[in-house]
Amino acid sequence: MALDNTPKRVFKVVGTRPPRPDGIDKVTGRALYGADVSAPGMLTAHILRSPHAHAEIVSIDTSAAEALSGVKAVVTAKDFAPQDDDFLMDVLDNCMARDKVLYDGHAVVAVAATNSAIAKAALKLIKVTYKALPHVTDVDAAMTLDAPVVQEGRSLETVPEGMSQNVTSHCEFGHGDLDAGFQKADVVVERSFTTAATHQGYIEPHACLASMTADGKADLWCCTQGQYNVRDLCSAALGMEGSQLRVTASEIGGGFGGKTTVFIEPVALALSRKAGRPVKIVMSRDEVFRATGPTVSSSIDVKIGMTRDGRITAGEAHLRYSGGAFPCGTVDMGAQAAFAAYDLQAVRTLGYNALTNRPKEAAYRAPGAPQAIYAVESVVDELCQQLGLDPLEVRLKNAARKGTRSSYGPTFEDIGLVATLEAAKAHPHYSAPLAEGQGRGLSAGFWFNFGGNTCVTLNVNTDGTVGVTEGNPDIGGSRAAISQMAAEELGIPYDKIRTIIADTSALGHNDVTDGSRVTFSVGLATIKAAQDAIAKMCSRAAQIWGIDEEAVVWKDGAAEPAGPNAGKFPPMSLAEIAAVSFNTGGPIAGHHEFNADGAGVSFGVHLVDVEVDKETGATKVLRYTVFQDAGKAVHPSYVEGQMQGGAVQGIGWALNEEYIYGEDGRLQNPGFLDYRVPVASDLPPIETVILEIPNPGHPYGVRGVGETPIVPPLAALSNAVSRAIGTRMSSLPMSPPRILKALSKG
Amino acid sequence: MRFAQPRTTEEAAGLIAQEAGLTRILSGGTDVMVQLKSGLVEPDLIVDIKHIPGLRAITPEDGGFRIGAAVSGAELGEHEGVRALWPGVVEGVELIGSTQVQGRATMAGNLCNGSPAADAVPGLVAANAIARIMGPDGERDCPVAEIPVGPGKTTLAKAEFLTSIFLPARPDRSGDAYLRFIPRTEMDIAVAAAAVSLTLDAAGTVTAARVALGAVAPTIRLVPAAADAILGAKLDDAAIAALMEACSAACNPIDDKRGTIEFRTQVAGVLAKRAALIAYSRAGGTV
Ligand SMILES: Cc1cc2nc3c(=O)[nH]c(=O)nc-3n(C[C@H](O)[C@H](O)[C@H](O)COP(=O)(O)OP(=O)(O)OC[C@H]3O[C@@H](n4cnc5c(N)ncnc54)[C@H](O)[C@@H]3O)c2cc1C
C-alpha cells in the first residue's frame, strides 16, 4: 500500500528535532497529571485490599465504616453491572473482587470520604471475613495436576485434555519437519529458562477524578494510554451508555503498556454515583505494585540445532507463561515472536498460559516477546560458543529477510534485520577489545507493531495556523511527531501547528496508545487529513480564481495554478486562503478516519559489554549500543529516547527487577527500594544507531519504534554475563546472589 | 498528632517525659517522614530537635570531634577535620540516600532508627564512637556499639535522646574504611557491609583494629575475632583469609528479598577484606 510513489522524498520537517511541545510544562511542574485535577466538593477514596493470596470472601461488613462521620460512599463488587462478556467481567473482577480474592492486593471495598484521613480510618472499620485457600504463584507449579485451582472452568477448547484447570489457553505456531531438521544438525542445545514478572515501573501512579451527576452523565479525568478504552470499559461496568461518559486523558507520567486498562476508574465512578459528588482516587506505589499489571512470569524450554558452519537446522520452543489470576493471551505473542529473526526450514513453538495467584497481567512493551526471544537468543549464543562461531555472522547467516516465511506464518516484506546486523558488525563497539572478567553479549529482537482504529481532525485556523486534534495519549513524543508530519504535508512551519489530544466526545474512536501504533497510524491519518484539507483549500483557491479545481495544485504551503494553461495567478498561501475562508464557504478542516493496516514489523540488535565482580556477583554494564530500524525517524531524538528507554528497562529486567513472593503468597517487594529499577548511575551512556529502511505501508516510511527496544536486552545481558563468568545463566533476573551461586557451582 | 520544636535539651526531655502517648524524635526526618507516610507509626507527639542550639555544631574536643545529633550528612561531609581523622565514618554517612537525603539525614537518626543495615553505624562502631544521651535525669555517655539491640530497637529509655556523637582522637598511622554491598550503585539498602579501623606501627604491622559488620545480623556487629585475625600482621594473604573467615563466621543473617544467607555470609568477608585493604593504605601501609 505505497501511498506516495515519489522515490527518496526530501523532507523539510520530518527528520528534524524541534523542541518538544510538552517540555516546558513538564520541567516547570505545570503539566497536569492524573492526580492534579480537582473539583469543588471533591471526595477522596481509598481501597481496602486483600491480605491473602487466595481466599473466599465469606462476608463484608461495612456498617461501621459507613457510620463514620465524613464517609460519603462505600462500594463493593455488588455495585457494578454484571457482564456477559468474559473479558469485561475479568477486567471488572480485577477492579473489585467478587466472591474470591485472587491475589495479595486484590481490591475488596472502596470508601469515599471528605478527606484522605477519614477514608483511611474507615478502611480500618471494615470487617471482611475470609476463608483462606491454598495458593500458587509459580507458573510451573500451577500447571501440575495437584495445584490449587485459581479459577475453575476458564480453559479454552485449545487446551489439551488432562492438563490442570489453571491452564487457560494453548497455541502452536511453525512449519517444517522438526525431526528432520534436528537430524541435520551437528550440535543440538536444549535448555530451560525462567524469567520473573516485572513491572512497567512508570513514575506516575494511577490516578483519576470521576464526577457523575444525578441525571447519569459523567466525566472522568485519568492518566491512561487510551481514553476510548476507558470509556468503553467503564460505561459497561457502570451500565451506562457510552455517550454519557466523557473521558479526558491527563498528561501521562509513563505507561509502557500498563495504562491500557482500568483499575480505579470504574471504582471512582461508582463511588461518585453513590455519593453524588466528585471522587478522586490516587494509588500509592504499594498499590501500583500489588494490584496493577506486571508482565507475565515465564518458564521456557528451547531446543535449537545448528550445523558446524552456523546454519540453524531446526528450532523448537515450549513457552509457559502466567498472566496472573486471569486468562491471558500474551503467550501467543511470545510463541509468534520467538524465532521471528530467523529464516528457518523447521520451526515450532508451543505456548501455554497458566493461572497463578498474582495480579492480572497488563501489557508491557512488546508483551510476551522479550521472554521468548531471551530464551532463543541465549541458546543461539551457546551454540555459537560451542562451535566457536561469531554470533553476529551466525545471525546474519540465518537472518529473516524480504520474502522469508516467518516462523509465525506471514511472509516478510521489506524488513531491516540484515541492515541492522550489518550496522552492528561495522560499529567500533563490536570490535573493541575486552579486558579479563568482561563479556560481550548480542541479541536481535523483533516486534510486530500495530495500526488500528484511528480518527483525526485537522483544523485550519483563520490566522494561518493549524490545530490537529487526535485521540491518542502522548506517551513517547507523538504530539511533536504528528505536528511534524502535518507541517511536512501542509508545507508550513512546525511552530504553526499545535496538536492536542481530544476527549472521547470530540472525535470518533481511537484505539489505545499501544502496539507502537501512534506515530504510524495517527501520523498516517494526519497526513490524510492534511491532504483532505489541502483538497479543500485548492478548491477555495479555484473558486477565488474562477478556474477548475483540478487546475490547482498544492506546493510549499500554497495553492497555485497547475500550469500556465490553468491561468496566471500568484500562489495563495494557506494563511491567505484561511483568512478569507468565511467568504468562500466557511471554515476549513480536514478529517480522516480508518482502521490502519501495514504497520510494518521492526527489528533491533543490541550489543552490551559487562564486567562481573566474581567475589560479589555484581554486574557492571560498561557499554551499550542499540541498532534499530525506524523506517523513517520523524523526530530522531524521540526515537533515540525510545531505544534508550527500552534498553534501560531491559537492563533492569535482566539484572535486578522481579516480583518476589513469600511462602504466604504475598508480594515481598511492593516499592522501589526492593523492586530495583536501575538508577542513573547504574547505566553507561546508551549509544543509538537508527537505521531507516522505509516501511512500504506508510508514505514517509514510518515504522513503530516503541516496543522493539525492550526485546533484545534480556538475552544481550545474559549472553554478556554468561561469557564474562564462563557459565551459562538461564534465569532472570541475574541478581548478584544468583550470579555468585552460579559461579560457586562453576 | 502534635509537633514541638523545643529550644533546649531539658525542654525536649521534659516534653517527652510528660507525653503519655507515643513520641518520635525528629532529626532529619528521612526515616520518620517515610514511616509516617506509610502509616507504619502514628505518633501523638513529634519532637523536632534540630532547633536546639548546639545540636548542629561540629566541635573539636580532646583531639577528636563532637558531632551534634542534628548535623546532616552534607554538613559532616564538608568538614575537612572530620574527613581527615575518620574518613571511613564520613564515607559511611555519605552513602546514605541521595544529595537531597544528605541535606537532612543525620548519624544520630541513622543509629536510633535501629536498622541492621544502617550505613553510618558500622563505621561509628569500628571507631569506638561514644554517644551522649540526654534524659530526664540528665546526661550520660554510652558507646555507640551498645545502642542497637535489634531491628528498630535500641537501649535508649523512653525519654532519652542523643545530643551528640563523639569521635575520639587516634594515633598517627591510623586509617578506617567502610564498604557496603548493594545490587545497584546508589539509592539502595546494604545487603552486607563492613567497616574496619586500624592503626599501624612504623613497619606496617597492625597494632590495633576494630571490625564491624552491617546487615548480616539483627544488629550491627563488632567482630573482635576479625580484629584479632589481623592484629600483629601486615595484611598478608593468611591474615586476610583469617579476617574473611572470622567475618563470615560472625554472620547470622536472614534469607530475604534482599539477599540469601549464603550470599550475605560470603560477601561480608569480601567487603571486610576490601575495607581492611583501604584502611591499611589510608594508615600509610603498603601491602
Ligand atoms: C530516599 C532514602 C534513601 C535512604 N538511603 C539510605 C541509605 O543508603 N543508608 C541508610 O543507612 N539509610 C538510608 N535511608 C534512611 C535514612 O535516611 C537514614 O537512616 C538517616 O540517617 C536517618 O537520619 P534522620 O536524621 O533523617 O532521622 P529521622 O528520620 O529524624 O529519625 C530516625 C529515627 O531515629 C530517631 N531519632 C532521630 N534523632 C534522634 C536522636 N537524636 N535521639 C534519639 N532518637 C532519634 C527518630 O525518632 C526515628 O525513630 C534512606 C532514606 C531515604 C528516604
Residue type, B135: G
User: Can you tell me the distance from the alpha carbon of B197 to that of A423, in angstroms, rounded to the nearest whole number?
Assistant: 53
Does B183 lie at the interface with A, CB-CB under 8 angstroms?
yes
Question: What is the predicted pLDDT for the residue at A9?
Answer: 83
Q: Specify whether the CB–CB gap between A600 and A697 falls below 8 A.
A: yes
Does B259 lie at the interface with A, CB-CB under 8 angstroms?
yes
Mean pLDDT, residues A353-360: 98
Report CA(B115)–ligand 1 centroid distance (Å): 9
Q: Of 3.40.50.300, 3.30.420.10, 3.30.365.10, 3.30.470.20, which CATH number belongs to A452-596?
A: 3.30.365.10
Helix axis angle, A330-337 to A369-387, nearest 10°:
30
In CATH terms, is domain B175-282 a member of 3.60.110.10? no
> Distances in Å between the alpha carbon of A142 and those of A33, A58, A333, A356, B215?
39, 25, 21, 6, 35
Residue of B nearest to A734 (CA): B183
Residues 23-62 on B with a CB inside 8 Å of A are: 38-39
A304 beta partners = A189, A315
Fold topology of A297-449+600-745:
Aldehyde Oxidoreductase; domain 4 (3.30.365)
Q: Is the dihedral of CA A500, A501, A505, A506 positive or negative?
A: positive
Ligand 1 nearest-atom number relative to CA B26: 30
Could you tell me which of A110, A108, A89, A138 has the C-alpha nearest to residue A46? A110
- Closest CB from B257, B266, B267 relative to A660: B257
Contact B257 A674 (CB under 8 A): yes
Q: Specify whether the CB–CB gap between B106 and B163 falls below 8 A.
A: no
Domain boundary assignment for chain A: 42-133+205-252+259-291, 297-449+600-745, 452-596
Assigned C-alpha cell, A116: 484522605
Whether the ω angle into residue B183 lies within 30 degrees of 0, i.e. cis, is no
Contact B266 A120 (CB under 8 A): no
Q: Specify whether the CB–CB gap between A170 and A160 falls below 8 A.
A: yes
Chain B residues whose CB is inside 8 A of the A617 CB are: 263
Assigned C-alpha cell, A670: 511492593
Question: What is the predicted pLDDT for the residue at A600?
Answer: 87
Mean pLDDT, residues A297-322: 98
Question: What is the predicted pLDDT for the residue at A2?
Answer: 39
Report CA(B30)–ligand 1 centroid distance (Å): 5
Assigned C-alpha cell, B193: 557491609
Question: What is the predicted pLDDT for the residue at B159?
Answer: 87
Pairing of strands B130-135, B138-143: antiparallel
At a CB cut-off of 8 Å and minimum separation 6, what does B271 contact? B179, B180, B181, B192, B193, B194
Residue type, A99: D
Q: Is A500 helix (H, G, I), strand (E, B) or coil?
A: strand
Contact B187 A679 (CB under 8 A): yes
Other Cβ atoms less than 10 A from the Cβ of A545: the count is 18
Ligand 1 atom 33: residue of nearest CA: B113
Report CA(A667)–ligand 1 centroid distance (Å): 25
Mean pLDDT, residues B165-183: 97
Chain A residues whose CB is inside 8 A of the B266 CB are: 740
The tens digit of pLDDT for each residue in A120-155 reads: 999 999 999 999 999 999 999 999 999 999 999 999
Assigned C-alpha cell, A544: 477565488
Ligand 1 nearest-atom number relative to CA B117: 11
Q: Specify whether the CB–CB gap between A535 and A470 falls below 8 A.
A: no
Mean pLDDT, residues B156-168: 95
What ipTM score was computed for the predicted complex, to two decimals? Answer: 0.94
| DSSP-assigned states of every residue in A395-438 | HHHHB--TT-B-TTSPBP-S--HHHHHHHHHHSHHHH----TTE
In the predicted structure, residue A369 carries a pLDDT above the cut 70: yes
The tens digit of pLDDT for each residue in A605-617 reads: 999 999 999 999 9
Pairing of strands A466-470, A497-501: parallel
In the predicted structure, residue A4 carries a pLDDT above the cut 60: no
Cα distance from B60 to chain A (closest Cα, Å)? 36
Q: Across chain B, how many H-helices and E-strands are there?
A: 11, 14
CB pairs under 8 A between A and B: 52
Question: What is the predicted pLDDT for the residue at B39?
Answer: 85
Question: What is the predicted pLDDT for the residue at A564?
Answer: 87
Q: Is A98 exposed, middle or buried (0-12, 13-18, 19+ CB in 10 A)?
A: middle
- Closest CB from B258, B267, B270 relative to A674: B258
Could you tell me which of B168, B277, B276 has the C-alpha nearest to residue B223? B276
Question: What is the predicted pLDDT for the residue at A745?
Answer: 84
Helix, strand, coil % in chain B, rounded to nearest 5:
35, 25, 40
Ligand 1 nearest-atom number relative to CA B55: 41
Q: Specify whether the CB–CB gap between A74 and A65 falls below 8 A.
A: yes
The tens digit of pLDDT for each residue in A686-723 reads: 999 999 999 999 999 999 999 999 999 999 999 999 99
Domain boundary assignment for chain B: 2-45+55-167, 175-282
Cell 478504552 sits at which residue? A229
In the predicted structure, residue A7 carries a pLDDT above the cut 70: no
Cα distance from A672 to chain B (closest Cα, Å)? 9
Ligand 1 nearest-atom number relative to CA B106: 25
Same fold, B2-45+55-167 and B175-282: no
DSSP A257: T
Mean pLDDT, residues B59-63: 98
Cα distance from B35 to chain A (closest Cα, Å)? 13
Q: Is A97 helix (H, G, I), strand (E, B) or coil?
A: coil
The tens digit of pLDDT for each residue in A242-282 reads: 999 999 999 999 999 999 999 999 999 999 999 999 999 99
Chain B residues whose CB is inside 8 A of the A743 CB are: none
- Closest CB from A616, A678, A741 relative to B184: A678
Chain A residues whose CB is inside 8 A of the B256 CB are: 668
Question: What is the predicted pLDDT for the residue at A5?
Answer: 47
Question: What is the predicted pLDDT for the residue at B38?
Answer: 85
| DSSP-assigned states of every residue in A618-643 | EEEEEEEEEEEE-SS-SSHHHHHHHH
| Preferred mutation among A116, A289, A614, A674 to probe B, highest tally of B CBs within 10 A | A674
At a CB cut-off of 8 Å and minimum separation 6, what does A426 contact? none
Does B261 lie at the interface with A, CB-CB under 8 angstroms?
no
Report CA(B48)–ligand 1 centroid distance (Å): 13
User: Can you tell me the distance from the alpha carbon of A559 to that of A588, in angstroms, rounded to the nearest whole number?
Assistant: 14
Q: Specify whether the CB–CB gap between B253 and B216 falls below 8 A.
A: yes
Probe target for ligand 1 pocket from B52, B99, B113, B134, with the most ligand atoms within 8 Å of CB: B113
Strand order in the sheet with A731-732: A167-175, A347-354, A312-322, A297-306, A187-195, A731-732
Q: Specify whether the CB–CB gap between B199 and B221 falls below 8 A.
A: no
Pairing of strands B64-68, B130-135: unpaired
Q: Specify whether the CB–CB gap between A558 and A571 falls below 8 A.
A: yes
The tens digit of pLDDT for each residue in A9-66 reads: 899 999 999 998 999 999 999 999 999 999 999 999 999 999 999 999 999 999 999 9
User: Can you tell me the distance from the alpha carbon of B1 to that of B44, in angstroms, rounded to the nearest whole number?
Assistant: 4
Question: What is the predicted pLDDT for the residue at A8?
Answer: 67
| Percent of chain A whose pLDDT exceeds 70 | 99
Ligand 1 nearest-atom number relative to CA B107: 21
Cβ-count burial A486-510 (b if 16+ within 10 Å, e if not): bbbbbbbebebbbbebbbbeebebb
Same fold, A42-133+205-252+259-291 and A297-449+600-745: no
Chain A residues whose CB is inside 8 A of the B270 CB are: 615-616
Q: Is A723 helix (H, G, I), strand (E, B) or coil?
A: helix
Question: What is the predicted pLDDT for the residue at B212?
Answer: 98
Fold topology of B2-45+55-167:
3.30.465
Question: What is the predicted pLDDT for the residue at A686?
Answer: 98
| Percent of chain A whose pLDDT exceeds 90 | 97
Homologous superfamily of the A42-133+205-252+259-291 domain (CATH): Aldehyde oxidase/xanthine dehydrogenase, a/b hammerhead (3.90.1170.50)
Residue of B nearest to A287 (CA): B38
Probe target for ligand 1 pocket from B37, B67, B100, B110, with the most ligand atoms within 8 Å of CB: B110
Q: Which residues line ligand 1 (CB under 6 A)?
A: B 24-32, 34, 49, 69, 95-97, 101, 104-106, 108-110, 112-113, 118-119, 161-162
Q: Specify whether the CB–CB gap between A334 and A172 falls below 8 A.
A: no
The tens digit of pLDDT for each residue in A83-109 reads: 999 999 999 999 999 999 999 999 999
Contact A616 B270 (CB under 8 A): yes
Mean pLDDT, residues B214-234: 97
In the predicted structure, residue A6 carries a pLDDT above the cut 60: no
Contact A681 B181 (CB under 8 A): no
Chain B residues whose CB is inside 8 A of the A120 CB are: 39
Question: What is the predicted pLDDT for the residue at B287?
Answer: 80
User: Can you tell me the distance from the alpha carbon of A612 to that of B241, in angstroms, rounded to the nearest whole number?
Assistant: 22
Mean pLDDT, residues B73-101: 97
Ligand 1 atom 8: residue of nearest CA: B96
Q: Cα–chain-centroid distance for residue A487?
A: 27
